[in-house]
């Protein structure tokens, strides 16, 4: 059954969580001029139905980790079980099926060369019914990640956004951050539920609630931790999600990437290694809208030499959350 499109209040709550995934319901309610109970009820209804979830994510680069975009060619009857196995891994995100169900695409986060090689050179090539693997390093993210997806955040005024915005300065520190054991436990809980309370975080880490709150704030301030909203694009009225691989003239790559990062259709954009150098996830109302975006939104950009596109036919994992059945 197709999920209903969100109403105006639901969209406003999603936008508020996009601004600050840990904003108290009372603050969101005050900004939206509704009751605390209404905001809490709407959020828990969507979360219980597995339609929306706030998740804690890390910026891999701030920790000295690398992210790789992996394309895995498989025989059709193996695609779903392999995708679901990948979705259960803690080091993957955005696990999807494209190309009629014969290709799995995903983002893999590797803490070290050893972790990267174990998956890309060891486990995947030896997986039965995998016929090919290619991997490209994400060099710079221009849309998505901490900036989120502008297309889902269109309901609040500038004043409302300013009221909700968290009071910290992400990315202020340049040094790489080293996580300790408590941080790992903290991030593990937040990856499952970005709105987990401080008592729960304290139990997971062995810290006091005050220490858990302080450390969470520190990880946000130094740009390691951010909060994302995992939501089905169908709820926002987007029926067509596609992955685009662009080949852009090197001298125009930055300008092109910065331009597409402002497009409401673009949920993610990153410069990569490989024969194509700009990767994009886009969400459009339907196939006609995707055609219009390829022709007008992308086709009009200078320096674009080639576009490869593939519609997403199934998500096994969005952001950090595996879909039901995985």
| Full pLDDT tens readout for the chain, 326 residues | 445 678 999 999 999 999 999 999 999 999 999 999 999 999 999 999 888 999 999 999 899 999 999 999 999 889 999 999 999 988 898 899 998 889 999 999 988 878 877 777 678 877 888 999 999 999 999 998 887 776 666 789 999 999 999 876 544 556 789 999 999 999 999 999 999 999 999 999 999 999 999 999 999 998 899 999 998 888 888 999 999 999 999 999 999 999 999 999 999 999 999 999 999 999 999 999 999 999 999 988 989 999 999 999 999 988 656 655 44
The predicted structure's pLDDT at residue 111: 87
CA-CA distance, 319 to 322, in Å (whole number)? 8
The predicted structure's pLDDT at residue 91: 87
pTM of this structure: 0.87
Measured between its terminal Cα atoms, the distance across the chain in Å is: 18
The predicted structure's pLDDT at residue 320: 59
Greatest alpha-carbon pair distance for the chain in Å reads: 56
- Residue ranges of alpha helices (H) inside the chain are 8-19, 25-32, 36-48, 79-87, 113-117, 158-164, 181-192, 198-205, 209-221, 253-260, 287-292
CA-CA distance, 207 to 108, in Å (whole number)? 30
Collapsing DSSP states into helix, strand and coil, what is residue 3?
coil
């Amino acid at each position: 059954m197709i999920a209903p499109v969100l109403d105006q209040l639901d969209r406003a709550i999603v936008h508020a969580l996009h601004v600050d995934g840990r904003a108290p319901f009372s603050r969101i309610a005050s900004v939206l001029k509704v009751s605390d109970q209404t905001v809490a009820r709407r959020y828990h209804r969507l979360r219980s139905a597995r339609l929306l979830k706030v998740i804690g994510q890390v910026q891999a680069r701030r920790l000295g980790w690398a992210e790789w975009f992996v394309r895995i060619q498989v025989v059709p009857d193996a695609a779903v079980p392999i995708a679901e196995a990948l979705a259960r891994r803690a080091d993957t995100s955005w696990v999807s099926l494209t190309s009629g169900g014969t290709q799995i695409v995903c983002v893999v986060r590797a803490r070290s060369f050893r972790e990267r090689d174990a998956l890309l050179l060891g486990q995947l090539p030896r997986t039965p019914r995998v016929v090919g693997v290619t991997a490209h390093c994400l060099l710079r993210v221009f849309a998505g990640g901490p900036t989120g997806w502008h297309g889902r955040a269109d309901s609040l005024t500038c004043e409302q956004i300013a009221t909700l915005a968290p009071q910290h300065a992400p990315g202020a520190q340049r040094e790489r951050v080293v996580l300790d054991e408590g941080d790992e436990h903290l991030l593990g809980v937040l990856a499952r539920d970005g709105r987990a309370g401080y008592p729960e975080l304290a139990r997971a880490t062995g810290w006091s609630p005050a220490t858990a709150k302080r450390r969470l704030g520190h990880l946000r301030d130094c740009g390691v931790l951010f909060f994302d909203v995992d939501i089905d694009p169908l709820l926002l009225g987007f029926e067509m999600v596609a992955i685009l691989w662009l080949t852009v003239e090197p001298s125009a790559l930055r300008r092109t990437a910065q331009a597409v990062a402002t497009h409401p259709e673009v949920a993610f954009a990153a410069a990569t290694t490989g024969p194509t150098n700009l990767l994009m996830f886009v969400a459009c109302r339907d196939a006609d809208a995707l055609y219009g975006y390829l022709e007008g939104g992308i086709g009009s950009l200078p320096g674009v030499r080639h576009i490869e596109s593939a519609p997403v036919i199934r998500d096994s994992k969005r952001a950090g959350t595996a879909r039901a059945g995985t």
